[in-house]
Structure 1
Amino acid sequence: MTAVIREIWFLSRDRAALVWLLIAVIAAGCSVTFGLGEIASQRATIERLETADQAEQTYMAQAHRDWGSAGYYTFHLTYDPPSDFAFAALGQRDASPWKHRIRMLALEGQIYETDAANPDFALTGRFDYAFVVAILSPLFLILLLHDLKARERAAGRFELLEASGSGLWRVRAGLRVGTLGMALVLPLLMAGIISGSRAGPLLFGSAAVLIHLLFWWGVIAWINQRGWTATVNLTTLFGAWLVLAVLAPAGIKLAVDTAITVPDGGDIILTQREAVNDAWDLPVSATMEPFLERHPDWADYATIEGAFEWKWYYAFQQVGDQTAEDLSLAYRAGRDRRDRVSSILSWLTPPAKLERVFQSLANTDVEATREYEDRVRAFHADLRAYYYPNLFMDLPFTDETLSERPGYSATPQTE
């Protein structure tokens, strides 16, 4: 106990260490503050869009009194609400869409559109809490521990301290690691309480931070045992950080993206829209035959007599999706395979693994994005199942029938 108190006193007089600990607290505090603000902004956007969507649908229901026009002009808001822990790792919410306004038109031309405000963050990394603990915390720890023994050697006190027992170094280093851990974890816990996050993600995330620091403590201790000068230690550790935190993750991403090819979302949109545009100039049979292969139930109602009929229009919207289907399936399969391989390879670089852990806890990873996309696809399928009988059987347009139109249900993400 006396040794601990003595080391606390020494640490309190080490101005450089106190400065780095203060910077760590500020960085962690700023990151969770920014995250809380971003999530609050997204929730406010969703609330505002929900209100506008309800008003617009009410107006459209009065303005368009036939099934074809109602399906064409009515937008339906879909969105992926952020979890209460999303403030810690915004993840894919910067790179992938988390809200859409869907119409009863071809879906492939809508689902890959995005209005993400900061797509460049997908490359550089957003300054969120996951970034601070995965990328910056090793630097703080290196600066706190790199000269732990070298400084005493330079001052001529190393042999004397060694004679007092090797446990002194563990106490001194452990105190700095623990203090840095508190500086990083406390802002996370405070932000979690503010956001109403459940205990599970907070405790698991805190444990992940501490394990990450222990890993880097091991790396630093191994370097410190070489007996090198503080400058050599610092240079070597910076090199290790550069490899593990920057070069290795970038190399893994480049290798995975090169090895696993994925169609571009823009190509899927273009393919679908070209199919829809071409349908205007093709014989009706070129649309109805492939449509009825998927929807044989409407074969008895598929006769097109006029120059334009809404059921023909929505049929070639469906065929547009069918034309782009192979590309879309390849895109989804390739994206999922990239994510699986990246998850395995991330074990080679702890900073990348830690970021993936936080994104999983926050429901902002690739899997969460895929689940949102699946909900949008399921909702669009419900819309088609609702509109097709009314269109093909030419049923009367009534408010009672319109009230049965399906609505989007956003399954809240739980931690």
Structure 2
Amino acid sequence: MNFLDVRRETVFLLRKKSIALLLLAGFLLASFSVWTGSVDVAQQHQTIERLLVGDSVDREEVTHKHHDYGYIAYYTFHLTYAPPSPLAFAALGVRDIYPWKHRVRMLALEGQIHESDTPNPELALAGKIDFTFVIAVFSPLLLILLLHDLRASERAAGRHDFLVVTARTRNSLWPLRTAILMVALWLALIVPFLLGCAVNGVGIVDVFMISAIVLVYLLFWSVICYLVARLAFPAPVLASLLLGGWLLTTFIIPAVGDVVIEEAYHGPEGGNILMTQREAVNDAWDLPHQVTMDAFLETHPQWQGKTQTTSLFEWKWYFAFQQVGDEKALPLAIAYQQTAEDRYRAAGYIALLSPATLLKRALTHWAHTDAPAAWHYEQQVRAFHAELRQFYYPFLFNGTPYSEASLADRPVFTPYKNTER
């Protein structure tokens, strides 16, 4: 095999209208997915910028309007967000299911997190056609259409034996054609991705790694198509075998796996956490102040001796029962998170039987758009909310006179960097 052989076979294959149309379809699908993904990511960045401006204006208005730490803590919202990574345009992941922005106050946190817990089920089912979806789902289908009749078409035309005899070696022709078509499809898919990387500022390491992963994935399916194409059956039969395998591994196994996982792992829902926290907060209005303060002191003994109240309403009592409401819902929140992690881990084992699912998990992990990235953001929100409480509690329980200058030390949310995961 030499350069002339490669050139001859490449020209021969690409002159076929069916092959050219399939490669064009792959290029257009990849281009569409890159464009829509880039638009989606750009809109998320614009949303964050707009909310940051509004958040700053709102905070300034509250600061100038109120002159009491309790009112300031109650009315001030703080924007928290997880910005999309540069690679998110190619793998949107669960960012359309899990929340990636919250405006939180120093009230009970569980309600603020889980009130947006339930996604639109139809949206979650449909998903989005991003670059990862095109590679995982459509690229094997295009390969099947390109390679299923690699030999069958030549048999039907009566040229198979002649081509085998005239080839330099008996088994050099078909692997060469398979490799040419695979590389051609890889280029058709990867060129739009490279343009998207240039527009979104993706690092060279990420570009290289994703390109290599896509090539390995196409190589995997090419080998399967090559082996099946060797069978002495008509092209429709070979296509049916390959399409059956594609349908089984891409759709049926993941769907059945989801059902099995849902049945195997049970835990509280976000609504259970929300109701438990809200009931605890609402019930506190009817309880003696001391009952709430005793429960609060169990986890905050440093305020012992400073929890006495002398009126029907005091801000330290109000925020104390907000804290107690969170603590009563905490066991449910921990169980909820553990169940989610168990399901995600089990889905990883199911993915070993589904190359498409395995590829999606790999690319979304690389793009920081998978479920663990969403959980990491939630932990950041919890840590920031704890900082707010640590900031305000000394003023409230010590009865410190209000000073606007002290607000300069108020915590400011800083989103994680992609390298910090």
Give the structure-2-normalised TM-score: 0.96
Instruction: Check whether the contact 1:95–1:119 (CA below 8 A) recurs between aligned residues.
Output: no
CA distance in 2, matches of 1:192, 1:167: 36
Change (3 A) 1:117 1:44: farther
Q: Aligned AA for 1:104? A: M
Q: Match of 2:305, SS? A: helix
Q: Aligned AA for 1:289? A: D
Q: Match of 1:78, SS? A: strand
1:55 aligns to 2:60 (yes or no) = no
1:175 aligns to 2:180 (yes or no) = yes
1:188 aligns to 2:190 (yes or no) = no
TM-aligned CA deviation for residue 115 of structure 1: 8.6
- Indicate the residue corresponding to 1:141 in structure 2: 143
1:384 aligns to 2:384 (yes or no) = no
- Indicate the residue corresponding to 1:263 in structure 2: 268
Q: Aligned AA for 1:141? A: L
- Indicate the residue corresponding to 1:350 in structure 2: 355
CA distance in 1, matches of 2:120, 2:17: 38
CA distance in 1, matches of 2:350, 2:205: 26
TM-aligned CA deviation for residue 414 of structure 1: 4.2
Change (3 A) 1:197 1:116: farther
TM-aligned CA deviation for residue 5 of structure 1: 1.7
CA distance in 2, matches of 1:181, 1:166: 23
CA distance in 2, matches of 1:129, 1:120: 21
Q: Match of 1:348, SS? A: coil
Q: Match of 2:142, SS? A: helix
1:79 aligns to 2:87 (yes or no) = no
CA distance in 1, matches of 2:224, 2:294: 66
CA distance in 1, matches of 2:248, 2:273: 36
Question: Residue by residue, what CA displacement relative to the aligned partner does 1:22-64 show, whole Å, maximum 9, x if unpaired?
Answer: 0100000110111111111000110110011111101100111
Q: Which runs of 5+ in 1 are unaligned?
A: none
* 1:10-409 map, 5 Å: 10-114=12-116, 120-163=122-165, 164=167, 165-409=170-414
TM-aligned CA deviation for residue 244 of structure 1: 0.6
TM-aligned CA deviation for residue 124 of structure 1: 2.8
Instruction: Check whether the contact 1:32–1:129 (CA below 8 A) recurs between aligned residues.
Output: yes
Moved more, 49-58 or 332-341: 332-341
TM-aligned CA deviation for residue 240 of structure 1: 0.5
Q: Match of 1:403, SS? A: helix
TM-aligned CA deviation for residue 117 of structure 1: 8.3
Provide the alpha-carbon RMSD of the alignment: 1.5
Give the structure-1-normalised TM-score: 0.97
Instruction: Check whether the contact 1:3–1:168 (CA below 8 A) recurs between aligned residues.
Output: no
Q: Match of 1:136, SS? A: helix
Q: Aligned AA for 1:112? A: H
Change (3 A) 1:118 1:187: farther
TM-aligned CA deviation for residue 118 of structure 1: 6.2
Moved more, 146-155 or 259-268: 259-268
Q: Aligned AA for 2:54? A: A
Q: Aligned AA for 2:344? A: D
Q: Aligned AA for 1:25? A: F
Instruction: Check whether the contact 1:31–1:127 (CA below 8 A) recurs between aligned residues.
Output: yes
Moved more, 84-93 or 119-128: 119-128
- Indicate the residue corresponding to 1:9 in structure 2: 11
CA distance in 2, matches of 1:120, 1:396: 52
Instruction: Check whether the contact 1:94–1:119 (CA below 8 A) recurs between aligned residues.
Output: no
TM-aligned CA deviation for residue 119 of structure 1: 5.4
Q: Match of 1:17, SS? A: helix
Instruction: Check whether the contact 1:77–1:99 (CA below 8 A) recurs between aligned residues.
Output: yes
CA distance in 2, matches of 1:252, 1:397: 57
CA distance in 2, matches of 1:116, 1:190: 35
Moved more, 377-386 or 158-167: 158-167
Q: Aligned AA for 2:312? A: A
CA distance in 2, matches of 1:198, 1:118: 33
Moved more, 20-29 or 211-220: 211-220
TM-aligned CA deviation for residue 116 of structure 1: 8.9
Q: Match of 2:25, SS? A: helix
Moved more, 1-10 or 196-205: 1-10
TM-aligned CA deviation for residue 401 of structure 1: 1.1
Moved more, 348-357 or 262-271: 262-271
CA distance in 1, matches of 2:227, 2:254: 23
TM-aligned CA deviation for residue 373 of structure 1: 0.7
Instruction: Check whether the contact 1:81–1:413 (CA below 8 A) recurs between aligned residues.
Output: no
Q: Aligned AA for 2:21? A: V
TM-aligned CA deviation for residue 125 of structure 1: 2.8
TM-aligned CA deviation for residue 213 of structure 1: 0.7
Question: Residue by residue, what CA displacement relative to the aligned partner does 1:178-230 show, whole Å, maximum 9, x if unpaired?
Answer: 10011111111111111111112211111111111111112111211221110
Moved more, 9-18 or 314-323: 9-18
The alignment of Structure 1 onto Structure 2 pairs a total of residues equal to 415
Identity of aligned residues (%): 45
Q: Match of 1:77, SS? A: strand
Instruction: Check whether the contact 2:98–2:119 (CA below 8 A) recurs between aligned residues.
Output: no
Q: Aligned AA for 1:88? A: A
